[in-house]
């Protein structure tokens, strides 16, 4: 009986470890996509923060100012990033709900 409990316990730990490592691997690929899309930034590079909501991943891309955000939106860099993120998940994943684009001026004024 004790051996069965140990095997089950080790199996559960193994599953958690697998999930953690898989998540780290996916995030590293997503960060590489982010750098590929926004890496040539002329001014200050935007930042990418990973989070989660109800077990779904979330992403916050923060630009230094409104002009940088407007430039990225106008040149479809934001859409390119959404398309890259979308490929990691199934059709139930709503990329528009998961990714937010903001700028530091919004945070400073309390807009967010």
3-state secondary structure of 99: strand
CA distances from 40 to 2, 44, 74, 79 (A): 58, 10, 16, 16
Domains, the chain, ordered by start: 27-108 (3.30.70)
pLDDT at 66 over 60: yes
pLDDT of residue 105: 79
Mean pLDDT of 44-60: 93
pLDDT of residue 88: 95
pLDDT in tens, 97-109: 999 999 987 765 6
8-state DSSP, 28: H
pLDDT in tens, 3-25: 899 989 999 999 999 989 999 99
| Averaged confidence pLDDT in the chain | 90
């Amino acid at each position: 009986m004790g051996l069965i409990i140990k095997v089950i316990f080790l199996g559960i730990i193994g599953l958690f470890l697998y999930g953690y490592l898989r998540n780290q691997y996916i995030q590293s690929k997503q960060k590489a996509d982010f750098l590929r899309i926004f890496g040539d930034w002329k001014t200050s590079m935007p930042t990418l923060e990973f989070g989660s909501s109800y077990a779904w991943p979330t992403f916050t891309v923060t630009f230094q100012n409104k002009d940088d955000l407007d430039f990225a939106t106008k040149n479809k860099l934001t859409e390119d990033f959404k398309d890259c993120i979308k490929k990691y998940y199934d059709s139930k994943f709503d990329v528009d709900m998961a990714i937010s684009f903001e700028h530091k001026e919004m945070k400073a004024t309390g807009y967010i």
